[in-house]
Structure 1
């Protein structure tokens, strides 16, 4: 087997398509197919299950992918370290995967500062929920992740850098204005129609932890919708559809403008950490390492405690 075959295999495995892999690698589809066929013949095992719509990994393919991905990534890191890509006229870049809240409300300021300090660095941004961010970092599809929960991830190191508060938001109506004035306990939220972030969201996971700590079980909530975009949730709450639990970062504008009301999740501030996550089994590239150091410089944890 050779590196070209492994690169083709990894690309097909990640894109679930021979044609997409060929386009990404600047090869013809027959060439990619030939690489995979040669690899399967040499290993004496079927690696990919082909059907009319997509391609899936076989059990043998899943085992090979873990090794092949590391080989491809290590090769890329060696090329970057010794300047081979620059010699070919290519500029190396690193990949940041971020969940919704850090991607929309923290990352823009970090990137602006990073660009001012390192104008020649290139990077790619991937946005998804916290669970998928961790998966990408664990599989080395991303160099650094920013996530709102420390979801279990193989080989992943989680470093907290920002403390975020979770709050209940409600329509700014007389009903909820009266509740805010009365200062009553939060048990009332169990009987209200609730909009929650999607499964896999760090905000949702941490919110459920805080509610359970307050004695409110998830099974008691009247969840009417799961929504990915916090902007959609804010507008829906403002229109009177229901209530929600969101990051104070994401709800700040709607609360300040009076579109919604904010309630604390407890007598003490109900907070969760925002984490930078990386794969501890691989050395970070120079650009990714600079990015991580900048995060710690901009958001020193000690000053928030």
Structure 2
């Protein structure tokens, strides 16, 4: 087994085509086929399933893919650190982020990063916080951003941005009276239909903890719907379907134009931290280290702020 064989296998897995893999690696299709066949023969395992739709990974192939990507990234890291340059166009920093950091924080960070390092390419995957952690630990991404801390694997977290969760309601007379009257959330939220984020959402996990601190069991709320898309949630709330709990960042426009109202999530407010996360036992690419330094520079006052291990 060698890196050329693994590179061919990874490219076939990603393109789902031997011919496209050959084209992208500037090799012939028989050479790609030979590399993959040698790999399967040596390890006595079928990694790719050929069918009329193209090529798919077997269960063993999915496992090998995760390892192979790690090995190829380590090769890049070694070459980058010890003098053998890799062309800038060959580097891609893979970033995973949950909804709030992906949509409201990272656009500014990525544009700043691109201005300072124009040779670096970025690839952003948007999912929920659980999905980000799964991608970190399977090494499908290099660094991630989450709205909660999930105790799993060897994650290290850098909390860098204070976000606020709020209860969003329609902007109608009933809720204006509650807001102006300073009614306590616990006195009325149990009577309202509630729209919540999907399972795995950092927003939902943090909201559950904050409600519990006020004696409110999220499981006893009158659930109207579970939704993934924040825009759909906000529009449903504005139409009177129910109330919801989201980041205040996500509702800035609606709050400004008066289509939604925001109630504080408890007397202390619904404060939570947005975190940068990576695998502590896996070497970081130089581009990832530069991205982390930029996050510290942009959002943290002290450059030497430690990165805390999840416990």
Range into which the TM-score falls when normalised by the shorter chain: 0.7 to 0.9
- Output one character per residue of 1:4-45: Cα deviation in whole Å (capped at 9) or x when no partner: 2222334455x4944697376566766555433322221223
Unaligned 5+ runs, structure 2 = 303-311
Cα–Cα, structure 1 residues 278 and 26, in superposed 2: closer, same or farther, change >3 Å? Answer: farther
Would you say the 8 A contact 2:142–2:278 is kept in 1? yes
Count of aligned pairs between the two proteins: 298
Deviation, structure 1 residue 106: 0.9
What do you get for the CA RMSD once the two structures are aligned? 2.7
Which residue number corresponds to residue 165 of structure 1? 164
Cα–Cα, structure 1 residues 177 and 159, in superposed 2: closer, same or farther, change >3 Å? Answer: same
TM-score by length of structure 1 reads: 0.85
Which residue number corresponds to residue 223 of structure 1? 223
- Output one character per residue of 1:214-255: Cα deviation in whole Å (capped at 9) or x when no partner: 222222122222222222222221122211100011112211
Describe the SS at the equivalent of 1:165. strand
Structure 2: how far apart are the matches of 1:32 and 1:168? 55
Cα–Cα, structure 1 residues 255 and 118, in superposed 2: closer, same or farther, change >3 Å? Answer: same
Which residue number corresponds to residue 190 of structure 1? 190
Cα–Cα, structure 1 residues 71 and 221, in superposed 2: closer, same or farther, change >3 Å? Answer: same
**Residue 179 in structure 1 maps to residue 178 in structure 2:** yes
- Output one character per residue of 1:63-119: Cα deviation in whole Å (capped at 9) or x when no partner: 544543321221122234334422xx7452322222110111111222233233334
Structure 2: how far apart are the matches of 1:28 and 1:173? 66
Cα–Cα, structure 1 residues 69 and 121, in superposed 2: closer, same or farther, change >3 Å? Answer: closer
Which residue number corresponds to residue 243 of structure 1? 243
1:1-305 to structure 2, matched below 5 A, reads: 1-11=1-11, 15=14, 17-18=16-17, 22=21, 32-48=32-48, 55-58=56-59, 60-61=60-61, 64-81=64-81, 82-86=83-87, 90-187=89-186, 188-300=188-300
Cα–Cα, structure 1 residues 101 and 283, in superposed 2: closer, same or farther, change >3 Å? Answer: same
Cα–Cα, structure 1 residues 10 and 119, in superposed 2: closer, same or farther, change >3 Å? Answer: closer
Structure 2: how far apart are the matches of 1:214 and 1:26? 61
Structure 1: how far apart are the matches of 2:30 and 2:225? 45
Describe the SS at the equivalent of 2:281. coil
Structure 2: how far apart are the matches of 1:301 and 1:151? 25
